[in-house]
């Protein structure tokens, strides 16, 4: 049986789709205040990203980090500050996730899904994606605040995984959000 509590927090992610790099985004609260932003690491030659860290903007607290296991393939190992870890990878022509203890209902890759904890069937978050004229929006409805870092890192890494292989983002242009 699936149980859902009332929404504790709502986060919004807005990306401009006309940008050359889909890696520019911030995670905002429902009042539009930017709370989290990813910082990317680059290859030795600076051509491609090798991972990211997700940090709180005001305090600089590390929320989660992702790194490529194999530099030439989309294979990400992710660790959150709360101790959760998971892996997103490409297997042949399909994509997969190792997410022990949790179930994804819906489509993870287009960010339209529900995250459920296997132990008690509790819904932890609902993630919805909508495409608008020149930007797309992702809404994260969080039902359990203890999983905030885990859920936000998961969503940020799915965005990063889907963009894997793009050229280096313009990391010096912080006004491009």
pLDDT tens per residue, range 25-37: 889 998 889 999 8
Spell out the domain ranges in the chain. 9-162
Cα–Cα nearest to 56, from 86, 77, 78, 26: 26
Q: Which two tokens stand for residue 125?
A: 């978050």
pLDDT tens digits, 56-90: 999 999 999 888 877 667 788 899 999 999 998 88
Residue 60 backbone dihedrals phi, psi, to 5 degrees: 80, 10
> What pLDDT is stored for residue 67 in this prediction?
84
17-31, 65-79, 112-126, 135-149: least confidently modelled range: 17-31
CATH fit for domain 9-162, picks 2.60.40, 2.40.160, 1.10.1740, 3.90.550: 2.40.160
Residue 172 pLDDT exceeds 60: no
């Amino acid at each position: 049986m699936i149980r859902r509590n009332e929404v504790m927090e709502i986060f919004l992610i807005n990306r401009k789709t006309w940008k050359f790099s889909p890696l520019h985004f911030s995670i905002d609260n429902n009042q539009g205040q930017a709370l989290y932003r990813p910082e990317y690491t680059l290859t030795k030659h600076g051509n491609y990203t090798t991972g990211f860290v997700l940090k709180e903007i005001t305090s600089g607290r590390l929320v989660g980090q992702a790194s490529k296991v194999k530099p030439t393939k989309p294979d990400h190992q992710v660790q959150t500050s709360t101790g959760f870890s998971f892996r997103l990878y490409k297997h042949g022509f399909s994509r997969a996730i190792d997410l022990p203890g949790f179930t994804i209902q819906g489509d993870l890759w287009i960010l339209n899904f529900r995250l459920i904890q296997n132990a008690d069937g509790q819904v932890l978050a609902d993630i919805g994606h909508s495409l608008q004229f020149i930007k797309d929006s992702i809404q994260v409805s969080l039902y359990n605040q203890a999983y905030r870092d885990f859920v936000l890192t998961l969503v940020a890494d799915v965005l990063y995984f889907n963009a894997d292989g793009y050229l280096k983002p313009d990391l010096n242009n912080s006004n491009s959000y």
